[in-house]
Amino acid sequence: MDTTEDPPFVPDLAYLWAPFIILHVLAEVGSILLLLTYFFSKNVHRPPTLVNFWITWLIYSVSYSLLLYDKQQYSHPDTLCRVQAAMVDGSSSMVVTAGLVAVVQPPHVIYKSTSTARLKSRIRLVLCLFVPYMVFLAFSVGTALVGRKNFLLTNPMNGLYCSLDVDGFSRYAIPAYCIVVMTCLLGFEGEHQNI
């Protein structure tokens, strides 16, 4: 009796490589232009949580376009493929967490009247800005540890980017986290709309 499992079905998306890369490169350029506008414009109000949100989107886009910089990855996956798989799994969770922080953290909390209140508010803001990167690190390290045990699980089988082909982790844990955070984000956003 054969106890080996069939690998999960992965569609061949290589024919979408050009639009996939073009959209990600445009997203990278657009995010950089938006961030430069935030930094150099004196008249644009830019809450730190919103700037952080756009930085996470930039990281998200870069994580999916890493193979653009090394075409031989499709035939001989190595370290770059492992890094991309870890970043791809961590970036989705990071972006939704940054979105939640941007919605939950009202920008006016920084402007308190007493110096103690301002200090507490700034410490809280700094902690809120780091939360998405801690989530990114947690999911990326999780992917790296699973991929380290079996390198054959990390590959560019879909023809666009490297990912970890483990049903329980990539297919359920990450989307479940994102769904929960997005539900909370929508709840908070709806609450702000009613105020």
Question: Who wins on pLDDT, 69 or 111?
Answer: 69
Alpha-carbon gap, residue 63 to 44, rounded angstroms: 28
The total number of structural domains that make up the chain? 1
Whether 79 has a pLDDT exceeding 60, the answer reads: yes
pLDDT by residue (tens digit) across 137-172?
999 998 888 777 766 666 677 778 887 766 567 778
SS3 at position 113: coil
Whether 98 has a pLDDT exceeding 90, the answer reads: yes
Domain range enclosing 38: 14-194
Q: What is the mean pLDDT of residues 184-192?
A: 80
Name the token pair of 184.
């909370």
Whether 179 has a pLDDT exceeding 60, the answer reads: yes
